[in-house]
Structure 1
Amino acid sequence: MDAAVNTQVVVDSNEDETVAQEPELEQMRSTLEEAIVETRSKTLENRTRLPRLALSKRNRAVVRALNPMLVTYLEASRDLCETDSILFGAALAVCRIIGAKLSTARRATGQSSAIPAWRIIIEKRIAKARDLIGRLICFRSGNTRPRIVPTVVAEAVRRAPNWKFRA
């Protein structure tokens, strides 16, 4: 893999076409084959996440060099799933050749182990309410420390329009 990352692709600026040496093309072909084989053996959920790549001349040159190599794989594909794995393998090969940083995190699926945002928000509100209740109880019991009084005064001012006074 280190050899694939260090591959240099030469771009002719006049024609914007790839001019690559034969050893470099063979290295690209082997990287492509490895990536396709690796992708075929993994399920969709276990594939690595691919980064977005800039449309630079170098990146376009790598893609142009790999496009003709893909034809043989795509002609031999039997169904859509196999075509998908070939194309994902090609994208993975491009990332490896360019040297893009690949994420080790798995793709997000329908069920995530992360805590939902709505639950985090509700838990924060509960914690804030408990903190305020604790300070109000301390104030009612006679605690007039500088940390307690401003909180109670601010809460009283905030809730004053909602309070109904008895005559």
Structure 2
Amino acid sequence: MLVTYLEASRDLCETDSILFGAALAVSRIIGANLSTAGHATGQSSAIPAWRIRIEERIAKARALIGRLICFRSGNTRPRNVRTVRMAFAGTNVSLSQPDIMQKLTERIDDLKQRIVAWGKRIRRYTERSTRFNQNRLFQSDQKRLYKSLERPIVSGTGPAPNQADTVAFWRSLWSEPVNHNEGPWTEVVASQCAGITPMDPVIITPDDVAEAVRRAPNWKSPGLDGLHYYWLKGFMMCHAVLARQFQEALNQKSLPSLFTTGITHLVPKDQGATDPSKYSPITAPPPPFLTYQLKSKCT
């Protein structure tokens, strides 16, 4: 069925829609979970039993430190006295001996050192686990990794710029036609480039497409079409069609908007900025397969 539809495809956009439909059909047939929310990375999120035990020890040690400090401060209630006696159980320390205050201080310091040691063990495990999960996520889904590393939005930095003023400011820069005065330097550059031998015509073959697909990561963040490279590797019959349509786009010097449209985010240069001119536009271009193919062929 896919071969029949691809043969009737007229341009890259139509081919992309066909491939996306095929990927969706396969996913539904095999019963794959199509939701991207809460996508699991393969590791269990349960807290290890040894960490739970250490956290319980830390909680008990902190509670005991509090009771010992209260007793040292003069709190001699029966419940507090029982706790202090339990803290010194198995030792030769008695609450009636003259250096009991020094023994209390030593016991408190010992408990604090144990808490620090237990905390360092948990911290070492957390840091190692974080590095391991980030490295594995970088191999499987770079987009999710970068999103997890983004800094949280700072609240309380003042009102956001007015939307109408922002649109008007950037429209005046991006949408209004401008007549540039190129000046005499363009003639100098043209004369210097006159002796350069033009590059040979670029011919995109199905083998080029297959090689570019082979090098692409399976689950790299897709473009606006949502089609991962994994499917381009599986649908090998599309390589010839893509090569032909890439060649046509290159010869016509025209690309579909699907490959040139990006999402622009305005990043404030200063905290609390409300002037639209104080924002930097950052556009995340879509990473379609075309960038792999034409970039390697045309440079």
TM-score after normalising by structure 2: 0.18
Which of the pair has the greater relative contact order for Cα pairs under 8 Å at 6+ separation?
1
